[in-house]
Amino acid sequence: MSDIGADLDALSLAARERLAAASSAEAVDALRHHLLGRSGELTALLKQLGSVPAEERPALGQRANEVRGELESAIGVRLSQLQAGDLEARLADEAIDMSAPGRPLRAGHLHPVLTTMRDLREIFHAYGFEVFEGPEVETEEYNFELLNIPPDHPARDLWDTLYVAEPGSIEAGESRPATDGTILRAHTSPTQIRAMRALDPPIRVLTPGRCFRYEAVDASHGFEFFQIEGLVVDRDTSLADLKGMLEEVARALYGRDVRTRFRPGYYPFTEPSVAFDIGCLVCGGEGCPACKRSGWMTILGAGMVHPTVLRNGGFDPDEYQGYAFGMGPDRMTMLRHGIGDIRLFFSADLRFLGQFSEGR
């Protein structure tokens, strides 16, 4: 055997070592090209066969073919090893640890004011009241005129609201721009007119919703808040019906032993008007700072629907009467949970809101 035989053995040995060290399919491919390609190391050795004695050529040629075969199969083996390794690594990457603790799901819950409103709806539902909703963007006509509050009526100051105006239409120093009478509703009462015009008597509706006021914001006043009003229109509806209804509701809300009283009140859209009080929940009636030492807390305003308002709703006041009452769910919620500042409701502070998730 000539040196070519030894060279073939050396090439085979070196090739296996380099193959074993190749760490990627790309490296193996490059090595294959380097060993077996047209200008590769093995091809270069074969080219030298022409210079060896003729009797040695067949054996050397056969040995060269064996080496080529061995290298090709070694390359195949190495490639599948690498692929298997890749798969293993990928599986290890993608493995799911079934014993790892799960990520907690953060479920939302009702806002405490909405919870109060739902409770009120449930109580009134038992007395046959249905929910009737109106728009938050209203007209001055519905918000004031139709409710017996004509322009320039001093009572309008109680319900000063936010006007919807064209951009640029507000002159400097002017608080009330010239508008087409579009406003954010100052109370849910306009919905009573809408309900009277839309429904056939007997009417028993609740009108929950958001209201807006042009108001300096402090611990007990917000520029947006909720109201729930109730309206009953029927023949022979009386103040006694209203009183009985409200006493039932007070018991449902605050327990059978709650004390109640009517006081004279004033609203332009009811006549007579009353304030409805319950015995102070904090001191039980002895007098404390929460009830301003009176022993009573006002929870709603009410009255018999004013004949003008009935007429504006499409009813003849000689035939139909009605009563209406309005509650402030924000204040009621503050009372219920001992919350001292109304601004917390809209502060979007999860430390505050998170306290009301229990059982809801």
Interface residues with Zn ion (CB under 5 A)?
280, 282-283, 288, 290-291
Q: Considering the complex, state which of residue 49 and residue 288 has its C-beta at the smaller distance from Zn ion.
A: 288
User: 321-327 and 270-279: which strand pairing?
Assistant: unpaired
Looking at beta carbons, which residue is closest to Zn ion? 280
User: 130-131 and 203-212: which strand pairing?
Assistant: parallel
State the nearest-atom distance from the C-beta of 352 to Zn ion, in Å. Answer: 25
Q: Considering the complex, state which of residue 300 and residue 309 has its C-beta at the smaller distance from Zn ion.
A: 300
Contact indicator for 321, 315 with CB cutoff of 8 Å: no
Q: Considering the complex, state which of residue 2 and residue 260 has its C-beta at the smaller distance from Zn ion.
A: 260
Name the nearest CA neighbour of 308 among 155, 139, 231, 193.
193
Contact indicator for 231, 350 with CB cutoff of 8 Å: no
State the nearest-atom distance from the C-beta of 123 to Zn ion, in Å. Answer: 24
State the nearest-atom distance from the C-beta of 280 to Zn ion, in Å. Answer: 3
How many separate helices (H) and strands (E) can be counted in the chain? 11, 9
For every residue of 35-51, DSSP letters joined together read HHSTTSHHHHHHHGGGG
Q: Considering the complex, state which of residue 211 and residue 278 has its C-beta at the smaller distance from Zn ion.
A: 278
Length of the chain: 360
State the nearest-atom distance from the C-beta of 281 to Zn ion, in Å. Answer: 8
Angle at 223 between CA 222 and CA 227, to 5 degrees: 75
Long-range (24+ apart) CB contacts under 8 A made by 145-151 are: 146/190, 146/193, 146/309, 146/312, 146/313, 147/189, 147/190, 147/192, 147/193, 147/268, 147/269, 147/309, 147/312, 148/268, 148/269, 148/306, 148/308, 148/309, 148/312, 149/268, 149/269
State the nearest-atom distance from the C-beta of 342 to Zn ion, in Å. Answer: 19
State the nearest-atom distance from the C-beta of 277 to Zn ion, in Å. Answer: 11
State the nearest-atom distance from the C-beta of 292 to Zn ion, in Å. Answer: 8
Burial class (CB in 10 A: 0-12, 13-18, 19+), 302: buried
Q: Considering the complex, state which of residue 139 and residue 260 has its C-beta at the smaller distance from Zn ion.
A: 260
Q: Considering the complex, state which of residue 167 and residue 289 has its C-beta at the smaller distance from Zn ion.
A: 289
Q: Considering the complex, state which of residue 49 and residue 258 has its C-beta at the smaller distance from Zn ion.
A: 258
